[in-house]
Amino acid sequence: MPSLAPAEQRVARLVLGDPRSFANLPVSELADRAHVSKPTVVRFCRSMGYDGLSDFKLKLAGSVSEGVPFIHRSVDPDDKTGDVMVKVIDNAVAAFLKYRNDASTFAIEKAAEALTATHRTRGRIEFYGVGNSGVVALDAQHKFFRLGVNTISYSDGHMQVMSATLLGAGDCVVVISNSGRTRDLMDACDIARRNGATAIVITATGSPLAAAGQIHLAADHPEGYDRYSPMVSRLLHLMIIDVLATTVALRIGGGRLQPLLREMKNNLRNKRYA
């Protein structure tokens, strides 16, 4: 609110006061209720980062119907435990819904095709990440090796560079980064590409890493890098990995995969108490 012009603040108060009506009323009625001009209503929507009134109303209607705000609400030091819980959960769900609405199925298709082709030719699939993204890379390796894929994950920069040097045509590397600006990951991605491997990057749009990969799976969210632990980004990356793993599993087919997973599950039973 403080960053908006006074007239746009009146539009903002109208949105907050009755979002359902705002999503359904014509621009002339909105302008009258906020005591502003029609162009001011459109300017407000663009100030919020949307293409215009129609785009803003579409997202607002989705937010109202799904009960989750599309804005990211930061955790504050004086928040009660209940406030923290609601904010963290709402931010995660809102990020998932935004990804569902904005994600490029074309990019997912290309990535799934590349990973499936690598699996069929018995090439290597490697996952790279550092910090929180290193945890996601390890989860990805766990998901894909269960499918019978020749895969490994690395979170150490030296290991990433050495392993990328050994990759070649027919191999795949999946590089995961929240910021898309980590030097080690950029170096490993460049080396893998120079050696002929396919580089799939899961990172923010407009980052250097997004431009470095051949296939970019956009993971965009409003979470900052400077407060507490990055929660939304990690969950969003994990979800993208789940989508990829499921898509690749379906492409591999259940004829050979289902018996393998069934046998694996049976073998694991001995590891549990009855």
Helix segments in the chain, DSSP class H: 6-17, 19-24, 27-34, 38-47, 53-66, 81-102, 105-120, 132-145, 157-166, 183-194, 208-212, 232-252, 254-268
Domain parsing of the chain, residue ranges:
1-70, 104-266
Residue 210: strand, helix, or coil: helix
- CATH value of 104-266 in 1.10.510.10, 3.30.1330.10, 3.40.50.720, 3.40.50.10490: 3.40.50.10490
pLDDT of res. 197: 98
**Residue 229's pLDDT is what?**
61
Q: Which residue has the tokens 């993204």?
A: 133
Q: Letter for the amino acid at 216?
A: H
Distance CA(52)–CA(47), nearest Å, equals 9
The DSSP string of 12-37 is HHHHHH-HHHHHHS-HHHHHHHHTS-
Mean pLDDT per segment of 10 residues, for the chain of length 274 residues?
Answer: 92 90 92 95 91 88 69 79 87 85 90 96 96 95 93 97 97 96 96 98 95 94 64 91 95 82 86 84
pLDDT of res. 225: 55
153 CB-side CA count, 13 A: 21
> Rounded to whole angstroms, how far apart are CA atoms 208 and 274?
51
Pick the CATH number of 1-70 from 1.10.10.10, 3.40.50.300, 3.40.50.10330, 3.40.570.10: 1.10.10.10
| pLDDT at 226 (0 to 100) | 53
pTM (predicted TM-score): 0.74
Q: CATH topology of 1-70 equal to that of 104-266?
A: no
